[in-house]
Structure 1
Amino acid sequence: MKKGKFSLQAIIIIFVCIVVTLSLLITDLIISKRITSSVEETEKEKALNVARMISLSPMVINALDGATSQTVVQDFANQVKDKTNVNFVVVMDMKGIRLSHPNPSEVGKHFRGGDEGPVLQGKEYVSTSKGILGPSMRAFTPIKNSHGKQVGAVAVGISLENVTKAVDKGRMGIAIGTLIGVLIGVIGAVGLARYIKKILLGLEPFAIAKLLEERSSILQSVREGIIAIDQEGKITLVNRAAIKLFKRAGLEENPMGKNIEAYLPETRLTRIIKSGETDLDQEQNLNGVTILVNRVPVVVENEPVGAVATFRDKTEVQLLAEQLTGVRNYADALRAQAHEFMNKLHVILGLVRTEQYDTLANYVSETVNHRKTEMGFVTKKIQDPVLAGFLIGKLSFARESGASLSFDCVSKLPMPADSEITHELITIIGNLFDNAMEAIVDSPNKKVELKLDYAEDILTIEVNDTGMGMTKSLQNKILDKGFSTKGDNRGFGLYLLAQAIERLEGDLIVSSRPGKGTNFAVYLPYNAEDDSND
């Protein structure tokens, strides 16, 4: 994304200023034109009104009709001129000879301007022409006697310079208003720019575009399904992995814009918005597809405005867990066997150096027979090779830790009908064993007993330890997620154990007393593999 030359704030200020300035200039032009027209019309009307007033004066009519002396017209016309603030008032007879004029020497002379012809023919009008007093707007009105006969005319002039001044005065007010408007527009543009900048967290458009591109790439590249909703529960974001999983569950429609409760009724995302709390590592059945879901609220300024869920097919997660568990168990078994082998080598070396060859022969023979017996017992009783290898690794680990591990399998445990059970059994036995080994760390008598019994499609798992035991209050909390007496970031083993037992529809009984050790008894439905075709 290419970075622009100007910042978002500068662009907003410039753009708003240009828009405001252009708007005010256009408004100025329109209003100025109207003001000019209005001023001219006002002055025109003023001149006509003065001319009409003089044309109706009995004194002027009698003077032009010969009833009285014409000398009185000059004084009357100049008085009217001074009172009405016009440029001139000229009364003329039918020959165009002036009876009045601001300049007395012009009285008795012919009217100048060349635009008086129509008024002497009885027409009233306004014209613009240049006379002795300069360019002016002239209003002409015929003068008629009481019989309706025209006996003369009157011309009232207003200087065009005065008209221009009146127009300029009106425009000055508009110009001042325009400048004030531009100034207010600039202030408003700066405020708007800062507000938008704040909303966008100080990011420039190119940075926002880059973030959106990166966000889209990240969301579409992850293997986890992601779905987001807004405060009203509408789906606002779905990535490709989520759509792919939805199709596997039989949901073919495009979920964008749909209500989450209608599209995925069991998602519980709307409750996350209301509570504002996270919901992690929860199972959800999606039309037969079991997924592991993490749900978190989207919070802006301490207010939930939406929610996001990330999820993955549980089968894939279990496959990874099995791979990791197998590798870890294999490594633990190798480490335990290597440590045990080194101890035995030290014993053998000591017997060789002391030349106790008969004792050496008996020791080697007993060691070989013990290993054969132990491995043979486990593999004979446990037909599932994965579970058998897991138990052999735990036996080696117990010997390495200096604990006494007693393992007994009362009856033969056949292969399970569903390989999924093996994974759950490893989770259950592994967590019970690890918990027991941790319980005897500070105990003088470090002993753990593991017993398996299979009968009538029920598998019983018992684990006893000689640890410090638990009070009733602790027994009620040990299965809670995150609860542990061993420090922070612990307390997930027995929680996973309880979930595995629940998934297999089994039961768990815990018996413990302080100072007397602990007994875990698990009862599970166990469907054996049908071997009728073997």
Structure 2
Amino acid sequence: MSSQRKYWSLSSRSAIVRLLRGRSLAGQFLAFQLLVVAVVLVAVAAVSVAQSTREFRDVRGQRMIAVAENIASTPIVRDRYRDPFAASTLAPDVDRAVALSGAELAEIIDPSGTVRASSDPQRLGKRIDLGSTRADEGRAWFGDSDVDGAHSLVGQVPILAPDGDVLAIVSVSERYPSLWQLLGGAGERLLIYLGIGAALGLVASWLLSRRIKRHTRGLEVAEIAGLADHREALLHSIREGVVAVNTDGAITVLNDSAQELLGLDDSAVGRRVDEVGLDPTVAGFLLDGAAGRDEDDVIITTRTRVLALNRRAASSQGQRIGTVTTMRDSTELAALQAQLSSHRSVTDTLRAQTHEFANQLHTISGLTQLGEFDAVRDLVGTLTRRRAEINDAVTQHISDPAVAALLIAKTSLAAESGVTLTLTGDSHLSALDPALATDVITLLGNLVDNAVDVSVGSTAAQVRIHIDDAHGLLLTVADSGPGVPQHLRESIFSRGVTSKPDVPGGRGIGLALVRLVTAQHGGTVEISDGTGGGAVFTVRLPEAAHV
């Protein structure tokens, strides 16, 4: 039996596959809906048949008992049921009962099961099984039984003696109607219900297929699957990071490059931007798209990377559905820019020194032409002494030659801008490992450049530098500028647009590089207010690798 059920299951599935093969998506949905309607109609028909069968058994069973009781109460039946000629004597009464009740068979049976009188002469003298009846116990009974191989409803009533003994049994039976008879017997009501259900199912299926076809834009299943595969292949193969955010702030698309750049995984898809552990500045940029503003080449520095982001609004059928942000890793570019900035700083320093030396040479030349040789000697001595003082002020505290050279050059460059750059007397720095020295130059150079820029035109116009390597490495740069507002002290390290002049701090990527290099060494960078005004930038590195 189980193998037969398995065979029918496989056969039905293969039939469905053959039915749907080659059809459009809308056609497949229509076929499925029609199949559902057919199953519902079959279920309704089965319920109706079961209900009709139950009603037939209850109603006709009582009818069979009533007919049997009527025959049993007839005086001639009670008097002549044992007569040797009972078959012919009682035949009119038995036939009349069948005709009046609509039953198919009426019989009188003795307690041994022998038919004594019957509406069917061929059953006379036939012995039947009374095993399931209760009439031989003196009770009226109706139930199911096989009569000449046909499933029939039987009602039986005993003929009792005055002392209660069973003298004979009157049996009246009727065959159960066929399936088509039961469906037809349900009447017009069932047919109407089935017809209405089929019509509604067909209309709903047709409307659903139309809606599906409209929303899928006429594409079939294979075409939709192909588009999805191409989309996934494209998103995950491009080098730029792609992040799509819907209008509720949830991430809907996150390709492999974006996962690597942002430190996320596939579990971030479907969650809100501010719930996946993104850098606050990046999360704020992605959520700012809800206002509908596009952004180009926005530089954001995280703890480990410098990212260039571009954001565009996304729409479908005239409605905004969110934003799409692309991002590039600009960390290496930022490092190259830092090197270029260092070279430019050296160039500017050489230019300033050239200008200074040219002025001094012109002065010496004029004094020589005037014959003021004593004045020339005094001027040369003063210039030499001043240069020695600057060099000594740096080299007696800074033993690393690269850092010392940077500070000497920045001192001259700041002086040309009218800013006094001084190194505190308690500063100290031993010779560093060349790799660390390069990073310290990047940190110190960007901080000094920023401090000089904001100090130009201020009342004091000075920049103070403190360096200490007693416990790790401490760099402090204090300026006399307007200071940094509290609400900008985080974003000033994170975000800048190199093509715009109104970047906080005026340096664009410079302060972002400070944060990036500091984070790469496991250090921290902070901003505080100076005692006499201005801002104080403090960089702490956990340890310094000395030579």
> Shorter chain as normaliser: what TM range?
0.3 to 0.5
Q: TM-score, normalised by structure 2?
A: 0.47
Q: Normalising by the residue count of structure 1, what TM-score does the alignment of the two structures yield? A: 0.48
